[in-house]
């Protein structure tokens, strides 16, 4: 299936995996709206990469958990680029604490972005996305790897995994796929934060590839689901180099 002339929204698209996804979709011929939380400079740089790939790009600041802000973002995309075909919700936050020490304010922050934000984006996407479109959410391989201190983060992503197959069935008959990608440890700023080199080396050795994933590794999986992967629907795709 040609993905040329498709319009995509990528949340969390200014940095890390989201930015790699935005660039990869642009390389496949999709115009991309980057939705970001606060970093104007990085968002503008992401748009520059999209345009360098020959696609149209715009940057929109919005809180993915704010329904009015998300509605306004979709309105702007439709006005400036056209009707939406692809929605990638890569926005997310993570903080690591043992359950017994968990700061409930931190739990609420993660729930707001990772769970409510996913639902708000899914709700608006379900209303607007065109036939032939794709919705891709983000989970995490931590739901299987079960690292200590990741309890709150993994719990939020468990909610995402529960939503995906239900939304896929709710959109039955509209030729819209709904999937989630669950990356393993990936070389991003979010991953490196707070880790020693010994921690990083140990985690990198946990899969048969003996390395961390890269944002580009994950972007290839997302691009497949957002383009030619039409017979994959209602699934959580684990992209982790074989970690178990």
Active site residues: 153
pLDDT confidence of residue 244: 76
* The pairing of beta strand 57-61 with beta strand 86-89: unpaired
Residue 195 confidence (pLDDT) above 90:
no
The reported pLDDT for the residue numbered 182 is 98
Specify whether the CB–CB gap between 46 and 242 falls below 8 A.
Answer: no
Please state, as a whole number, how many other Cβ atoms lie within 10 Å of the Cβ of residue 80. Answer: 13
Q: Does the structure show a pLDDT above 70 at 47? A: yes
Q: What is the pLDDT of residues 143-159, one digit of tens each?
A: 999 999 999 999 999 99
What is the per-residue pLDDT for 231?
97
pLDDT per residue as tens digits for the range 6-19:
999 999 999 999 99
Mind listing the pLDDT tens digit for each residue in 57-78?
A: 999 999 999 999 999 999 999 9
Q: Which two tokens stand for residue 139?
A: 């989970």
**Cα–Cα dist 40/26, whole Å:** 20
Give the least confident one: 159-173, 193-207, 211-225.
Answer: 193-207
Under the banding of pLDDT at 50, 70 and 90, the label for residue 192 is confident
Please give the backbone phi and psi of residue 190, each rounded to the nearest 5 degrees, phi first: -60, -40
| pLDDT over 90 at 193, yes or no | no
In the chain, the percentage of residues whose pLDDT exceeds 70 is 98
Residue 237 has pLDDT above 60, yes or no: yes
pLDDT of residue 194: 77
The CATH topology of domain 7-184+217-237 is Rossmann fold (3.40.50)
The residue-averaged pLDDT of 189-211 equals 89
pLDDT-derived band at 4, boundaries 50, 70, 90: low
CB contact at 8 A, 25 and 223: yes
Give percent of the chain above pLDDT 90: 91
Q: Domain locations in the chain?
A: 7-184+217-237
In the predicted model, what is the mean pLDDT of residues 186-196?
85
Question: What pLDDT score was predicted for residue 3?
Answer: 53
Mean pLDDT of all residues in the chain? 95
pLDDT higher than threshold 80 for residue 5: no
User: In angstroms, rounded to a whole number, what is the distance separating the alpha carbons of residues 190 and 94?
Assistant: 8
Average pLDDT for residues 175-198, to the nearest whole number? 91
């Amino acid at each position: 299936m040609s993905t040329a002339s498709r319009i995509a929204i990528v949340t969390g698209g200014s940095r890390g995996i989201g930015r790699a996804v935005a660039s990869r979709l642009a390389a496949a011929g999709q115009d991309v709206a980057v939705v970001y939380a606060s970093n104007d400079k990085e968002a503008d740089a992401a748009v520059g990469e999209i345009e360098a790939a020959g696609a149209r790009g715009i940057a929109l600041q919005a809180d993915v958990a704010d329904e009015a802000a998300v509605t306004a973002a979709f309105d702007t995309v439709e006005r400036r680029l056209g009707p939406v075909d692809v929605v990638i919700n890569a926005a997310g936050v993570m903080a690591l604490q043992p359950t017994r020490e968990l700061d409930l304010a931190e739990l609420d922050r993660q729930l707001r972005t990772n769970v409510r934000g996913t639902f708000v984006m899914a709700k608006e996407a379900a209303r607007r996305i065109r036939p032939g479109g794709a919705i891709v959410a983000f989970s995490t391989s931590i739901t299987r790897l079960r690292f200590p201190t990741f309890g709150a983060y993994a719990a939020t992503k468990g909610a995402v995994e529960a939503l995906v197959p239900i939304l896929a069935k709710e959109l039955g008959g509209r030729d819209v796929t709904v999937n989630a990608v669950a990356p393993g440890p990936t070389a991003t700023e979010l991953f490196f934060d707070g880790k020693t080199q010994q921690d990083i080396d140990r985690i990198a050795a946990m899969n048969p590839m003996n390395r961390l994933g890269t944002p580009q590794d994950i972007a290839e999986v997302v691009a497949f689901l957002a383009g030619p992967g039409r017979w994959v629907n209602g699934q959580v795709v684990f992209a982790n180099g074989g970690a178990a």
